């Protein structure tokens, strides 16, 4: 009975350190966590990080067999519904773990598993466990969760720009080769549920008059909620794009676009209401609508591809895939 109480107390201490001390003082976290890991023989490992990158998510951590002082044979990943979504064998060097336990045989105790992003919610709700002598043992820890974004022109990533002052709402989706003005990113605000297609450029400064005036023109850029910017759209300084807007591919936005409108062209001009475009495209037959299984990330096979092609041929060449915006 006493051993059970001690184990529960140790688990509570580990949880406290992993959620509070880690963020406040990394050095103290490393010291205290290492000490607790070493004295608590019930620690089988940790699930540490979840990074969502497009349609996939990477889950990382380490695991051991306390009885043999060897890495665990296999790690199992469960989603929030309790279903096993991945199995992985430790194969990554973790000198920190080997050092904490003073055991060189734990050097290769690290692991990484790749799963579909659809299995991960916005809180990163997955768990990991090992099976030793037929008994299941959960790995400890609350994994950190973050979303990765494609590298942009000039080599900067979105998280770096956010640290510099760029404002980005929830459920932002950005395709490769976009450019967000890294030298004036704090002047840019992006709302919730915004999608950037490939090669979108957001430019908050203008250096064209630098030689005659020795000055650089700058301006705020505001992009509202539920906005889609098509492939190659350029948004220039001083522009505000309202909520629920769509900007067509190749457009150059030089003036404000009011909420609820579709704009296109160079320079971009309002052409209709967003609601009108939605209504026009909602009159589709069931034969030209595909569910989310007809996608690469969900394992579309050759037979399904053939079905898609034949169905589109019979419905004028245009169809739709019903899918959820990735968070």
**Catalytic residue ranges:** 205
User: Tokens 């579709």 correspond to what residue?
Assistant: 262
To 10 degrees, what angle do helices 2-16 and 26-39 make?
160
Distances in Å between the Cα of 179 and the Cα atoms of 25, 93, 250 are 35, 36, 14
Q: How far apart are CA 137 and CA 89, in angstroms?
A: 16
Contact 267, 252 (CB under 8 A): yes
CA distances from 280 to 129, 164, 225, 264, 273 (A): 50, 41, 22, 17, 11
Cβ neighbours of residue 83 under 8 Å, at least 6 residues apart?
A: none
The CA distances from residue 182 to 61, 111, 161, 171, 231, in Å, are: 33, 34, 6, 21, 20
What is each CA distance from 254 to 68, 167, 197, 265, in whole angstroms? 66, 21, 19, 11
Query: Is the distance from CB of 247 to CB of 228 less than 8 angstroms?
Result: yes
- Residue 102, Ramachandran bin (φ over 0: left; ψ between -120 and 50: alpha; else beta): left
Q: Are 130 and 75 in contact (CB under 8 A)?
A: yes
SS3 67: coil
């Amino acid at each position: 009975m006493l051993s059970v109480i001690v184990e529960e107390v140790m688990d509570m201490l580990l949880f406290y350190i992993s959620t509070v001390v880690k963020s406040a003082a990394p050095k103290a976290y490393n010291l205290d966590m290492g000490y607790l890991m070493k004295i608590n023989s019930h620690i089988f490992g940790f699930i540490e990080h979840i990074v969502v990158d497009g349609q996939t998510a990477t889950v990382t951590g380490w695991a051991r067999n306390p009885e043999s002082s060897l890495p665990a044979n296999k790690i199992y990943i469960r989603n929030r519904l309790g279903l096993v979504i991945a199995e992985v064998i430790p194969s990554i060097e973790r000198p920190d773990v080997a050092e904490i336990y003073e055991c060189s045989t734990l050097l290769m105790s690290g692991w990484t598993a790749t799963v579909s992003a659809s299995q991960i919610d916005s809180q990163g709700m997955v768990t990991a466990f090992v099976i030793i002598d037929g008994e299941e043992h959960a790995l400890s820890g609350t994994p950190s969760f973050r979303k990765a974004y494609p590298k942009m022109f000039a080599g900067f990533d979105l998280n770096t720009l956010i640290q510099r002052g760029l404002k980005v709402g929830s459920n932002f989706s950005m395709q490769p080769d976009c450019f967000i003005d890294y030298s004036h990113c704090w002047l840019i605000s992006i709302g919730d549920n915004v999608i950037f297609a490939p090669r979108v450029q957001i430019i908050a400064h203008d250096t064209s008059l630098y030689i005659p005036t020795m000055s650089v023109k700058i301006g705020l850029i505001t992009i509202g909620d539920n906005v889609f910017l098509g492939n190659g759209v350029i948004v220039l300084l001083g522009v505000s794009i309202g909520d629920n807007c769509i900007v067509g591919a190749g457009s150059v936005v030089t003036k404000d676009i009011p909420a609820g409108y579709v704009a296109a062209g160079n320079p971009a001009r309002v052409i209709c209401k967003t609601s009108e475009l939605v209504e026009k495209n909602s009159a589709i037959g069931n034969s030209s609508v595909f569910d989310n299984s007809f996608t690469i990330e969900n394992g579309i096979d050759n037979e399904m591809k053939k079905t898609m092609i034949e169905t589109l041929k019979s419905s004028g060449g245009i169809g739709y895939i019903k899918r959820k915006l990735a968070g």
